[in-house]
């Protein structure tokens, strides 16, 4: 049988396929379990708790398939203190059992309706039975964080005498605190067998408690990918590994560069999305918007990133919104291969902030469209918008008024139409009618991204005499984007006429 020696370094038992799958609504089939198990093995975990053999026949089939994969990791099953559970584990050709026995008086009385002596006898009997059949045994105290510590120690010692190679302390409902975790494991570390720590995240302290337990002497951490599990979830694999590695300088065998990939895999197969602000693997973990932060990143990424994103298989992202600064926009444009002058950059930044104030996050597609619009605008437009107003309602005829400057001369005009966009375009055409006769031949609008605040791109074909030209405008306001497109078309037509 495969076993692991737990002295000398921190080891990892991953229970995504057992405790993680107990997340409400999650049910993995055989192929999905195999896929996750292969990735966990490649990641470098020491033990894979592949499920609970008492769950169902289908569960046992999946666990037997995982055991038959020939993985490097030890393959384990959760079992109760019953010999029939051990028999099922043996049928699945597993390496070890995670033998869980309630140890708090609350669980012993209320759940088992039993007593301490009976629990002790069952733990010893099943441990001996499993060891006699060649299984590695990790004897686990359920609800240990609310148990009487002398009784817990007596169960552990009896289990060791019965052949248990490992022990586990379970913070079943997440009531442990880091200070106590360190103290308890400092005391338990004198036991003649290594002790694992298994924490739940009901109060958001699973990672802190696990790390404190490891510092106190725990030999192995029980974790799940993305911290999934019942109620508030379990200790997060990626958080523990990177906290140990980056903050304490403690290495594990985990290949940290694969953490993001397995996070996405587990999220996809379980259907549980990862919170954007989730540490290490959340989409925002290496995403920056605030201008002052991006300015710092350009100088030195360590200013606002505790680790390089590539360390966990990530990439840095710059997103734009109302908090964006010149550095953010400049860097994002550079990544898109767009160069511009300071005045153009200022206009692009202004438009980005305008969208941000409307609650819109500006995507790469948005930014590229905005930049292209700004860079295509004439340096000295012949027709320039000074003021613009539009009025419409369910009973009112849409009416627009515009004040424009044509070659420096101000003109004020109004127009009506079948809608506010039509009214605005008609007002502009009337305003310049004494100077040029322009026609709108085609009009088309696209939403660059989804949502009611999406950036819209307006394409128009404007004609003057026998010449026509296509122009475009963009913005969160379809009327202003349309006005911008029409004015750009008029300016380009007039420039063409002047150039001959």
Question: Rounded to an integer, what distance in angstroms lies between the CA atom of residue 238 and that of residue 207?
Answer: 10
Q: Say whether both 262 and 388 belong to one domain.
A: no
Percentage with pLDDT > 90 across the chain: 53
Query: Which of 375, 400, 423 lies at the terminal end of a domain, its last residue?
Result: 375
Q: Say whether both 112 and 19 belong to one domain.
A: yes
Question: Rounded to an integer, what distance in angstroms lies between the CA atom of residue 81 and that of residue 67?
Answer: 22
* pLDDT(471) > 90: no
DSSP state of 398: P
Ranges 13-22, 233-242, 384-393: which has the least confidence: 384-393
Q: Say whether both 324 and 413 belong to one domain.
A: no
74: left (phi over 0), alpha (psi -120 to 50) or beta: beta
Locate the DSSP E strands across 308-438.
317-318, 383-391, 399-406, 409-416
| Count of the separate structural domains present in the chain | 3
* pLDDT(4) > 70: no
pLDDT digits (tens, 9 = 90+) for 161-198: 999 999 999 999 999 999 999 999 999 999 999 999 99
Average pLDDT, the chain: 86
Residue 6 lies in a domain: no
Ranges 246-260, 264-278, 483-497: which has the least confidence: 483-497
pLDDT interval class at 337 (50, 70, 90): confident
Residue 140 lies in a domain: yes
DSSP state of 20: G
pLDDT interval class at 469 (50, 70, 90): confident
Of residues 347 and 132, the one with the higher pLDDT is 132
Matching residue, tokens 């040029």: 436
Residue 349 lies in a domain: yes
* pLDDT(275) > 60: yes
pLDDT interval class at 498 (50, 70, 90): confident
Q: Say whether both 239 and 352 belong to one domain.
A: no
* pLDDT(299) > 60: no
Residue 279 lies in a domain: no
- Count of C-beta atoms within a 10 Å radius of residue 363: 15
Q: Say whether both 102 and 160 belong to one domain.
A: yes
Domain coverage including residue 335: 287-375
pLDDT interval class at 328 (50, 70, 90): confident
Q: Say whether both 112 and 206 belong to one domain.
A: yes
Q: Say whether both 390 and 360 belong to one domain.
A: no
Residues 478-492: what's their mean pLDDT? Answer: 85
Question: Rounded to an integer, what distance in angstroms lies between the CA atom of residue 319 and that of residue 332?
Answer: 8
Q: Say whether both 366 and 431 belong to one domain.
A: no
Q: Say whether both 85 and 232 belong to one domain.
A: yes
Instruction: Compute CA distances 56 → 15, 35, 52, whole Å.
Output: 17, 20, 8
Residue 2 lies in a domain: no
Mapped to the 3 state alphabet, what secondary structure does 158-227 carry? HHHHCCCCEEEEEECCCCCCHHHHHHHHHHHCCCCCCEEEEEECCCCCHHHHHHHHHHHCCCEEEEEHHH
Look up the CATH number of the domain holding residue 87.
3.20.20.70
Question: Rounded to an integer, what distance in angstroms lies between the CA atom of residue 237 and that of residue 221?
Answer: 9
Residue 281 lies in a domain: no
Of residues 454 and 41, the one with the higher pLDDT is 41
* pLDDT(222) > 50: yes
Residues 437-453: what's their mean pLDDT? Answer: 74
CB neighbour class for 371 (10 Å; exposed up to 12, middle 13-18, buried from 19): buried
**Chain centroid, CA 288 distance in Å:** 14
pLDDT score, position 493: 80
* pLDDT(323) > 90: no
Question: Rounded to an integer, what distance in angstroms lies between the CA atom of residue 343 and that of residue 384?
Answer: 17
The model scores a pTM over 0.75: no
Residues 261-288: what's their mean pLDDT? Answer: 88
Residues 63-79: what's their mean pLDDT? Answer: 97
- CB 35, CB 265: distance < 8 Å: yes
Query: Which of 270, 299, 322 lies at the terminal end of a domain, its last residue?
Result: 270
CB neighbour class for 157 (10 Å; exposed up to 12, middle 13-18, buried from 19): middle
Residue 276 lies in a domain: no
Of residues 297 and 206, the one with the higher pLDDT is 206
Percentage with pLDDT > 70 across the chain: 87
Pairing of strands 456-464, 467-475: antiparallel
Residue 410 backbone dihedrals phi, psi, to 5 degrees = -80, 140
CB neighbour class for 152 (10 Å; exposed up to 12, middle 13-18, buried from 19): buried
Question: Rounded to an integer, what distance in angstroms lies between the CA atom of residue 277 and that of residue 287?
Answer: 10
pLDDT interval class at 318 (50, 70, 90): low
Question: Rounded to an integer, what distance in angstroms lies between the CA atom of residue 213 and that of residue 193?
Answer: 15
Residues 329-358: what's their mean pLDDT? Answer: 80
Per 3-state DSSP, what percentage of the chain is helix, strand, and coil (rounded to 5)?
Answer: 45, 20, 35
Q: Say whether both 230 and 86 belong to one domain.
A: yes
Residue 128 lies in a domain: yes
Winning range, highest mean pLDDT, from 69-73, 344-348, 360-364: 69-73
Q: Say whether both 478 and 336 belong to one domain.
A: no
Of residues 152 and 375, the one with the higher pLDDT is 152
| Tokens linked to 181 | 């975790």
pLDDT score, position 376: 67
Instruction: Compute CA distances 308 → 145, 242, 244, 425, 469, whole Å.
Output: 36, 11, 15, 51, 48
* pLDDT(7) > 60: no
Query: Which of 347, 375, 403 lies at the terminal end of a domain, its last residue?
Result: 375
pLDDT score, position 359: 65
Look up the CATH number of the domain holding residue 443.
3.30.160.270
Q: Say whether both 97 and 77 belong to one domain.
A: yes
For the stretch 254-266, what's the b/e string if a residue is b when 16 or more beta carbons lie within 10 angstroms of its beta carbon?
A: bebebbbbbbebb
């Amino acid at each position: 049988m495969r076993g692991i020696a737990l002295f000398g370094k921190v080891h990892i038992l991953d229970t995504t396929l057992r405790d993680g799958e107990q997340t409400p609504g999650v049910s993995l089939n055989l192929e999905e379990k195999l896929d996750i198990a292969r990735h966990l093995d490649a990641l470098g975990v020491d033990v894979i708790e592949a499920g609970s053999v008492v769950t169902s026949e289908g569960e046992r089939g999946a666990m037997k398939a995982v055991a038959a994969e020939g993985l490097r990791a030890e393959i384990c099953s959760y079992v109760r203190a019953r010999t029939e559970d051990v028999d099922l584990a043996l049928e699945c050709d597993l390496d070890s059992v995670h033998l869980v026995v309630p140890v708090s008086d609350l669980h012993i009385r209320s759940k088992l309706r039993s007593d301490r002596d009976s629990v002790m006898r069952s733990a010893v009997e099943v441990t001996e039975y499993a060891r006699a059949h060649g299984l590695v045994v990790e004897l686990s105290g359920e609800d240990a964080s609310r148990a009487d510590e002398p009784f817990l120690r007596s169960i552990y010692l009896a289990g060791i005498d019965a052949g248990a190679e490992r022990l586990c302390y379970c913070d079943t409902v997440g009531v442990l605190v880091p200070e106590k975790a360190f103290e308890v494991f400092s005391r338990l570390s004198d036991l003649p067998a290594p002790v694992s720590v298994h924490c739940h995240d009901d109060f958001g302290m699973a990672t802190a408690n696990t790390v404190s337990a490891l510092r106190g002497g725990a030999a192995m951490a029980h974790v799940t990918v993305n911290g999934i599990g019942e109620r508030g979830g379990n200790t997060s694999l990626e958080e523990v590994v990177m906290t140990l590695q980056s903050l304490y300088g403690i290495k594990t065998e985990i290949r940290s560069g694969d953490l993001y990939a397995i996070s996405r895999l587990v999220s996809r197969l379980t259907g549980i999305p990862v919170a954007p602000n989730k540490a290490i693997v959340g989409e925002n973990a290496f995403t920056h918007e605030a201008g002052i932060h991006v300015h710092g990143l350009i100088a030195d990424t360590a200013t606002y990133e505790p680790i390089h994103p590539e360390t966990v298989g990530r990439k840095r992202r710059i997103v734009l919104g109302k908090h964006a600064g010149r550095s953010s926009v400049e860097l994002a444009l550079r990544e898109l291969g767009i160069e511009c002058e300071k005045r153009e950059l200022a206009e692009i930044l202004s438009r980005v902030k305008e969208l941000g104030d409307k609650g819109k996050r500006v995507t790469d597609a948005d930014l590229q469209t905005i930049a292209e619009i700004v860079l295509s605008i004439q340096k000295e437009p012949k027709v320039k918008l000074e003021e613009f107003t539009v009025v419409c309602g369910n009973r009112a005829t849409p009416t627009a008024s515009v004040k424009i400057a044509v070659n420096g001369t101000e003109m004020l005009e109004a127009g009506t139409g079948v809608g506010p966009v039509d009214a605005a375009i008609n007002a502009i055409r009337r305003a310049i009618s004494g100077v040029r006769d322009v026609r709108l031949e085609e009009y088309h609008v696209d939403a660059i991204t989804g949502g009611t605040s999406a950036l819209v791109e307006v394409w128009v074909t404007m004609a003057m005499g026998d010449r026509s030209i296509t122009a475009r405008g963009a913005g969160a306001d379809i009327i202003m984007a349309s006005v911008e497109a029409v004015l750009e078309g008029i300016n380009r037509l007039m420039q063409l006429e002047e150039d001959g």
